[in-house]
Amino acid sequence: MNTAAAEKLAASPEGLTNQKAWSEWLAPLGISNESHVLVYDANRQLAAARVWWLLTYLGVEHVALLNGGFALWQTEDRAVDTNLPAPGPSQHVVKLQANRLADREDVLTALEKQEQKIVDARSDAEFSGSELRSKRGGHLPQACHLEWLTLVDADGRFLPTDQLRQRVKELGIMPGDAVIAHCQGGGRASVNAFALERLGFQTRNYYLGWSEWGNLNDTPIEKADKPEQP
């Protein structure tokens, strides 16, 4: 699966809404509308969760993550195959699921109305503003900080559900809350989105995240020391 091509497409202007381009990306994968897809990686769910989110955004209904990475699979002496699969062309009809994606206007509305929780999946340094990956650093006002790495162990296994539920409760995220997750560019937020959806939270991914928000001059930002006015 060409995840690099998917990342590039998703990060391009209007890429997430380019149905034709996503159909072309999906075409070689042999996925049908009835397929059950299992995604795994060797990077603590970071790549796998991104693919999971993209597939569900494209309307693939049955997508799961392997709870643990490929290294763990091998350590447990499970079956592996070295043959490269040759699936037929995909039969899945791409239908973009707008309810899974948030854009900048959605986030601004959420901040104004305070009816949704904003969850930041980035590192402590990014959240505080001490590490810059865009022109401006810091975090969204009202954002809850839930770094993606704290949700999975070193082998890529998610925390048990009761521990996950306690973590989000401590952040003030309560049953029934709608959530918008974000990071720098979609991947880490996808890990959070998967974990939150396991707990039953309706979650959208602000996929462009800080790569967009932090490079604008008029978006509200806070830092660890004091608020920064747009």
Pairwise CA distance, residues 191 & 173, whole Å? 17
**Tokens representing residue 60 in the block:** 């693939």
Residue 119: strand pairing partners: 144, 181
Nearest to 54 by CA among 13, 105, 2, 89: 2
Contact 208, 11 (CB under 8 A): yes
H or E element at residue 71 = helix 70-75
Contacts of 85 (CB under 8 A, 6+ apart): 30
Q: Is position 183 annotated as part of the catalytic site?
A: yes
The rounded Cα 193 to chain-centroid distance in angstroms is: 6
What's the rounded Cα separation, in Å, for the pair 43 and 3? 13
Name the 3-class secondary structure at 192: helix
Active-site annotation holder among 49, 94, 183, 191: 183
Active-site positions read 183
